Amino acid sequence: MGSIETVGIVGFNVMGAAIGLNAASCGYRVIYKELNDELVRTTYDRWVKSGLEKRVAKGKMTQAEMDKVTGLISGTAGYKDLAPCDLIIEAAVEKMDLKIQIFKDLDKFCRPDAILASNTSTFLIEKLMASVSHPSRTAGLHYFFPANINKLVEVIRQKETSDETFNALMAFSGKNNKVPIAVNDFPGFAINPVFISSYMVLVAFCGDTYSAATLDEISKQALGVRYGIMWVLNNSGLGTAYHAAVSMNDYLADSDVGFPLVPEPLKTQFEKGKPWDLEGGPMVDDPAVLNVVKERLLGSVFTISTHLIEKRVVSLKDLELGIKTALAWPKGPFSMMNDMGMAEAARLVNMTVESGTFKRPKIFAEGVPSAWEL
């Protein structure tokens, strides 16, 4: 395994194009693969040509810089053109069978020492790579939307991933001006279990008492965020949010972690094909009524975060950093617990566990733990 100089991207749309453009802007040669010649052309025109021309027109990039980046990017509809790549990042549609087939094809056409990584949001890396030869060169490289702006990258080790592969991907992410965190293979990895369970708990309250606008406001107050969770769901798409909720519940509800039920209002709203109405609806201002949801939201964040570190999916420090970087929460879950005091944090965790949302993390089974070492 040599150094990474040429990067292959399979699937050059919303995520793949942003990942490829990011790498080319940092000096890497990028070869992307799309399904056919037509898509090779249209994705190039949309993301590379128009995307960069807009930046030049706005004065965010010079023509010379744009020419340098475009000179590093080429597209193909055939796997054999990915043969020179040192790293291939798969960012195709989120379908398990399709991804497994892509990795079988990459195995055939790419060098045996090329690193193969997936940007999947929900599938276990181990499953996607099951039929790849030399699995020590496989891993997950999970970027966050919008990948040209969001700095976090989860570098995911499956049990076969070698130190050499993992270290090469951590270094690659750093050289791409990203903030990489180390994560072990787990459903949704480290950040999504926290975010997805948060919106599932919040949305479950949607109804006569709590309008979507009230719930958005509660999430802002509870987490100290500028953009509320309901607003984020409107912008990232309710379809994606619903499917991710179903998938996480399938993976974890019966495990020793547990997971919230898929909230009916999320299904209904997704089926309506409309975003949440964040302007209308009665707003609650009774602090006691707001507090009911705030406590359930925070209790859920604390409980899943503690499970993730107890299961060694991620370190406490990387989860703090990851949540702040990917979700723009001003504080990570463990600093929030320390700030409110561990007795109060334990009360919220116990309330969450008693509601049946999650199983109890070990450390909270032994009374009130001492403050987290951040």
Ligand X SMILES: NC(=O)c1ccc[n+]([C@@H]2O[C@H](COP(=O)([O-])OP(=O)(O)OC[C@H]3O[C@@H](n4cnc5c(N)ncnc54)[C@H](O)[C@@H]3O)[C@@H](O)[C@H]2O)c1
Residues that bind ligand X (CB under 6 A): 10-11, 13-16, 33-35, 39, 43, 91-94, 98, 102, 119-121, 143-145, 236
**Residue 14 or residue 351: which is nearer to ligand X going by CB?**
14
- Residue 107, helix vs strand vs coil: helix
Cβ 232 to ligand X shortest distance, Å: 11
Q: Which residue is nearest to ligand X (CB)?
A: 11
> Alpha carbon 40 to chain centroid distance?
26
Cβ 204 to ligand X shortest distance, Å: 23
The string of DSSP codes covering 201-214 is HHHTTBTTTB-HHH
Q: Residues 291-301, buried b or exposed e (16+ Cβ, 10 A)?
A: eebbbbbbbbb
Cβ 153 to ligand X shortest distance, Å: 10
Cβ 261 to ligand X shortest distance, Å: 23
Cβ 287 to ligand X shortest distance, Å: 35
**Residue 90 or residue 217: which is nearer to ligand X going by CB?**
90
Cβ 169 to ligand X shortest distance, Å: 16
The string of DSSP codes covering 213-228 is HHHHHHHHHHHT-SS-
**Residue 8 or residue 369: which is nearer to ligand X going by CB?**
8
Cα dist. 187→25, 53, 91, 214, 310 in Å? Answer: 31, 38, 18, 30, 15
**Residue 11 or residue 299: which is nearer to ligand X going by CB?**
11
**Residue 119 or residue 214: which is nearer to ligand X going by CB?**
119
CB 43 within 8 A of CB 12: yes
Q: Which residues contact 305 (CB under 8 A, 6 or more apart)?
A: 194, 319, 323, 332, 333, 334
**Residue 91 or residue 257: which is nearer to ligand X going by CB?**
91
